[in-house]
């Protein structure tokens, strides 16, 4: 695939993915409420800085788990920083995928791929 076909948000623009305005327009709880329940294992594919991952981790509760998967180590680092030292650190597994392979073999109850 040529570089023209690739659409990966630069790490420097992570703030726009995790803004108050975006959460208002794309409210994770409102969008995912009908699908994500307590105790689920959820794959957040292309998790970026974790806006949806964090909300879903609260939705699945202590018995659930989120696999936050992304291509860019910088985005994953931002998510790690946000959850470091919180109880969400136990619920969210941060996973770096490859460009052509997700690399998650675990069964999940729900998968989110959100641009």
List, for residues 84-94, the tens digit of each pLDDT value.
999 999 999 99
| Residue 61 in domain | yes
The count of domains in the chain is: 1
Could you tell me if residue 25 is inside a domain? Answer: no
Residue 101 lies in a domain: yes
Q: Which domain holds residue 55?
A: 36-115
pTM of this prediction?
0.80
Task: Please report whether residue 30 resides in a domain.
Answer: no
Instruction: Spell out the residues 6+ positions from residue 17 whose beta carbon is closer than 8 angstroms to its own.
Output: 9, 48, 49, 51
Domain assignment present for residue 108? The answer is yes
Is 52 among the domain residues?
A: yes
Task: List % helix, strand, coil for the chain (3-state, nearest 5).
Answer: 40, 15, 45
Give me the pLDDT at residue 11, please: 57
The DSSP output letter for 79 is: H
Rounded average pLDDT over 11-36: 72
- Helix/strand/coil (H, E, C) string of 10-49? CHHHHHHHCCHHHHHHCCHHHHHCCCCCCCCEEEEECCCC
CATH of the domain at 40: 3.40.50.150
What is residue 26's predicted lDDT score, i.e. its pLDDT? 73
Residue 105 has pLDDT above 80, yes or no: yes
Q: Is residue 107 in a domain?
A: yes
Please say if the pLDDT value at position 72 is more than 70.
yes
Interatomic CA distance for residues 9 and 7, integer angstroms: 7
Please say if the pLDDT value at position 16 is more than 60. Answer: no
Q: Tell me the average pLDDT across 57-66.
A: 97
With a CB cutoff of 8 Å and minimum separation 6, the contacts of 18 are 48, 49, 50, 51, 78
pLDDT of 61 > 80? The answer is yes
Q: What is the pLDDT of residue 1?
A: 39
d(CA 71, CA 46): 7
**Residue 20 within any structural domain of the chain:** no
């Amino acid at each position: 695939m040529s570089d023209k076909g690739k659409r990966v948000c630069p790490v420097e623009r992570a703030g726009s993915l995790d803004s108050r305005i975006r959460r208002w327009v794309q409210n994770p709880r409102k969008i995912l409420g009908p699908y994500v329940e307590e105790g689920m294992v959820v794959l957040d594919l292309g998790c970026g800085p974790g806006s949806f991952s964090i909300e879903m981790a609260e939705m699945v509760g202590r018995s659930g788990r989120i696999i936050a998967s992304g291509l860019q180590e910088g985005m994953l680092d931002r998510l790690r920083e946000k959850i470091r030292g919180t109880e969400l650190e136990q619920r969210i597994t941060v996973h770096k995928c490859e460009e052509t392979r997700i690399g998650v073999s675990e069964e999940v109850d729900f998968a989110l791929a959100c641009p």
